[in-house]
Chains A and B, each alone.
Chain A
């Protein structure tokens, strides 16, 4: 019997980006049905807020010393992991709001172009070649990957955002707080490092 796994992701998380291909591997190796769901991280609620200029100088901050060390480590750790995978991870200048890109994901799922959209958004965003906050930019990606975008604007203004909120509420009921997170057989796993344990659910 095909087993389903729910995979929560957020385009603005480098860890979610680096976990993408390994998550696809669950389908390749076990024919697992992966239900991708967007989870819009509220970064200031756990890492504070900060903005840096193009030279990397901090120009605004509400972040304690602990949160700064954590953020610096996370980017170093992601770059270390990305290097091994041959991927590019560039540090952001401010905390992005990924809501628009996440509504774009829901739209892409309806139009059956999810994987193409998912790959394009993640890869370009982490090269800093894509503004995930700009509805027109997201619409262009959808179009490029083959979706009919006539309904996207209306979806973004109404049903899409409502659906995203519903997904977030459901995620919170499951205890999700970070990405990537996986739910399989009712068990929650946070972090790509848990993928070996996740795989055990399929291997048995």
Chain B
């Protein structure tokens, strides 16, 4: 029986960005069809909130010292991981805490339209260059149009069915026990984090 691999990602996670290419490679090496599912991380649940003024100045929020150290580390580490895996990726620091729900509804729409991969690549790439606001419905619609989709139809989907589809995906993920990205569900077994890619690969080879 062919293996089933579900990958949970979030555009606003630098680790999910760095994991994308190695996952494409897994697909290629094992002739797998990965099921990509968006998981909109609720950053305040684990890294607190940060209030930022328009000029970028931090003026408040609930992020504690531990969470600040963790956040600084994860950006440094994701950049190091990109370099160590031979990827030339631009990973700019965040301007604020993003939600990514809008871009994830865009993912679900792109999947229905058969334009997932180009959409996925473009959103990740532009977001991390800070050239795309993943929470702005017009900006996401423009990407849909750029990759060959129908922006107006996306906006209709976004206003209704897309919201419900998104929430269903998140609820299912939470039931499985997902809490972070990238997460991998390989034949029912859950793995969280880029460091598990070798374990996933080993199991696929077995």
Give chain A's interface residues, CB within 8 Å of chain B.
42, 45-46, 64-67, 69-70, 72-73, 76-77, 172, 175-178, 187-191, 193-194, 197
Contacts and interface: CB of A to CB of B under 8 A. Distances in A.
A46 B59 CA distance: 22
A171 B180 CA distance: 26
B190 A73 contact: yes
B69 A175 contact: yes
Given A67-B45, A72-B177, A73-B190, A191 B195 contact: yes
A172 B46 contact: no
Contacts of A45: 64-67
Given A67-B46, A73-B190, A73-B192, A190 B73 contact: yes
- Residue from B64, B69, B174, B195 whose CB has the most chain A CB atoms within 10 Å: B69
Contact of A76 (B46, B69, B190): B190
B117 interface: no
15 contacts: A45-B64, A65-B174, A66-B42, A66-B46, A70-B180, A73-B192, A77-B192, A172-B69, A175-B69, A176-B69, A177-B73, A187-B80, A189-B77, A191-B195, A193-B195
B69 A66 contact: no
B140 interface: no
Contacts, number: 57
B193 A177 contact: no
Interface string B58-93: 000000111101101100110010001000000000
Contacts of B7: none
Contacts of B108: none
A194 B192 CA distance: 15
Determine chain B's interface SS by DSSP, over half rule: helix
Contact of A177 (B69, B80, B177, B195): B69
Nearest to B193: A193
Contacts of A65: 45, 174
A70 B47 CA distance: 13
Nearest to B70: A177
B66 A69 contact: no
B178 interface: yes
A178 B84 CA distance: 22
Contact of A175 (B67, B73, B80, B180): B73
Contacts of B46: 46, 66-67, 70
Given A188-B76, A197-B80, 4 more contacts: A45-B66, A67-B45, A69-B174, A190-B77
A140 B86 CA distance: 51
Given A72-B177, A73-B190, A175-B73, A42 B66 contact: yes
- Residue from B70, B80, B177, B179 whose CB has the most chain A CB atoms within 10 Å: B179
A89 to B, nearest CB: 17
Closest 7 CB pairs of A and B: A193-B195, A69-B179, A66-B45, A177-B69, A45-B66, A70-B179, A177-B70
A194 to B, nearest CB: 8
